[in-house]
Amino acid sequence: MYQQTIFLYTGRLTIDPAALFLFFGTHFLYAIHRIVGLQKVKPFQKGGRYKVIARFRHHILLYAVISALACAYLIFQLRWALWGLLLIPCLLSLAYVLPFLGKNRRLRDLHYIKIFLIALVWSWLTVVFPIKAQELIIPQQSLWLLFLERTFFVFAITIPFDIRDLQIDHYNEVKTIPAVLGAQRSKWLALVLLSISALFCHFNFMQQVYSISTYTGMLASYLLAAGLIYCTDRVKHDYFFTGLLDGTMVFQPLFVYAAYLIY
């Protein structure tokens, strides 16, 4: 999604220190989240993804260390101005996975907050950060339209994960949107949010930020995401969530690239 933002404005892809920092930083956070999260789901470790995570926790810890070392090197390859853009989202991300609050709690263990943190941090790091890292000069209206589109998209595809984790969040006494609205209403809320994201996509097209190929690829990705969200309460397999729903963040840029090649 970092690359997608750059591609939208330049028509090219680039592997720079900022992109690599974001890659290894995300990998580090996911790995640490898995290790720390095991302590929160002890009754659920007998099956599914938690059984696999528990079995390979030493491997995952090794991956986290490697990624942390890569980040420590790459951060010094970035301009000082980018450090300021990274400070708050990086601190929030660490606080999201590390238990620094009382009663061994993380930010994600606070009521309702985790889904907002995910949407805002992902959008900031994959819209604002790449634009500043590449020193692209674009209209502020275009920047914030894209930021809002990305925010609503990430928010929409994150709700199904809270639906999936209803039992776990109940065990940890964490209130989420699905815990209040129920699975069915939360699913429809996700579809409404996705529709809003598609509306911002249309605004970007009308403002000539998106070409017809980009517009087509984006709409195709939204249709795929809508279909997956609709099936959220019907499919329980871990790969549906960690492979397909999470994968919509990969499918979207792939659809954009594919449409670009076709057109």
Domain boundary among 84, 100, 135: 135
pLDDT at 107 over 70: yes
Q: Which helix (H) or strand (E) holds 196?
A: helix 183-206
Shared domain for 68 and 169, answered yes or no, is no
78-109 residues labelled b (16+ CB within 10 A) or e (exposed): beeebeebbeebbeebbebbebeeeeeebbbb
Shared domain for 93 and 156, answered yes or no, is no
pLDDT score recorded for residue 39: 76
Shared domain for 74 and 142, answered yes or no, is no
pLDDT score recorded for residue 190: 97
pLDDT at 132 over 90: yes
Domain count, the chain: 2
CATH number at residue 248: 1.20.120
pLDDT score recorded for residue 244: 93
Average pLDDT over residues 124-132: 96
Q: Tell me the average pLDDT of the chain.
A: 91
Q: Dump pLDDT digits (tens) for 216-232.
A: 999 999 999 999 999 98
pLDDT score recorded for residue 83: 95
Domain boundary among 120, 135, 150: 135
Shared domain for 117 and 157, answered yes or no, is no
Q: Dump pLDDT digits (tens) for 249-261.
A: 999 999 999 999 9
Q: Dump pLDDT digits (tens) for 43-92.
A: 666 767 778 888 888 999 999 999 999 999 999 999 999 999 999 999 99
Q: Which of 120, 151, 154 is nearest to 225 (CA)?
A: 154
Host domain of residue 192: 138-263
Tell me which range, 64-68, 166-170, 206-210, is most confidently predicted by mean pLDDT: 64-68
Average pLDDT over residues 88-109: 89
Shared domain for 95 and 39, answered yes or no, is yes
Reduced to 3 states, what is the DSSP secondary structure of residue 99?
A: coil
pLDDT at 209 over 80: yes
Domain boundary among 115, 135, 155: 135
